[in-house]
Chains A and B, each alone.
Chain A
Amino acid sequence: GAVVSQHPSRVICKSGTSVKIECRSLDFQATTMFWYRQFPKQSLMLMATSNEGSKATYEQGVEKDKFLINHASLTLSTLTVTSAHPEDSSFYICSATRQGVYTGELFFGEGSRLTVL
């Protein structure tokens, strides 16, 4: 149980286009989802926290208009990279907490590798 699925796993786009990444909790309801960004050989950097039905909370230095996060249901959160540029190329990982379960554990998606040409 507690499976989180991300789609797409890899995406290549042209500079200036927008890309949407989906994060789904397959067998549980996720009240809170977190979006992380990871550069090669580096740690995970939290971008934003999204709660179902409310606006996402962004970390300092993360552009809200560049990285649009929507958490429309208890099983789906989306990250849209708008007007993508080569510097947005990175590995994006989502994670979720399970509604009603307080073990502290976060469940991670497989990640999405974005390459902007």
Chain B
Amino acid sequence: AQTVTQSQPEMSVQEAETVTLSCTYDTSESDYYLFWYKQPPSRQMILVIRQEAYKQQNATENRFSVNFQKAAKSFSLKISDSQLGDAAMYFCAYRSKRLYNTDKLIFGTGTRLQVFP
């Protein structure tokens, strides 16, 4: 069974600085999806970034980028130029491609990010 581990329960960063959130996972599959979701105080889950395992290039979305190390099964999220609005709970998630759209999303335990002015 696949597992996702986030070893940092809490992180903090100063506004305009850069922070990296860690995520490791375990799987025997060769192709899959990895995601970072953000959950602000409103509790709405927001997709931050998505990576397909077969793609070697690291995904980027504006100030958000990932460092995807497939062999090490590591998927860290880098937030550049941090803003107050980035403060939230961040979840790393894994999704198999085995059953197409019926595969479930497996979440890590989350990292709470605080941003200080």
Chain A residues proximal to chain B, CB less than 8 Å: 31-32, 34, 38, 41-44, 46, 49, 51, 91, 93, 95, 97-99, 101-106, 108, 110-111
Contacts and interface: CB of A to CB of B under 8 A. Distances in A.
Contacts, number: 55
B104 A34 contact: yes
Interface residues of B, number: 23
Interface of B: 33, 35, 42-45, 47, 50, 52, 91, 95, 97, 100-102, 104-110, 112
Contacts of A110: 42-44
25 contacts: A32-B101, A32-B102, A34-B104, A34-B105, A42-B109, A43-B91, A43-B107, A43-B110, A46-B104, A46-B105, A49-B102, A49-B104, A51-B102, A95-B45, A97-B101, A102-B100, A102-B101, A103-B50, A104-B35, A104-B50, A104-B97, A106-B95, A108-B44, A110-B43, A111-B43
A54 to B, nearest CB: 11
Contacts of A91: 43
A38 B101 CA distance: 22
A49 B102 CA distance: 8
B19 to A, nearest CB: 20
Contacts of B95: 104, 106
B91 A44 contact: yes
B102 A108 contact: no
Contact of B50 (A34, A41, A46, A105): A105
B91 A106 contact: no
Given A104-B35, A106-B105, 15 more contacts: A32-B102, A42-B110, A49-B102, A93-B43, A97-B101, A97-B102, A98-B101, A101-B101, A102-B100, A102-B101, A104-B52, A105-B47, A110-B44, A111-B43, A111-B44
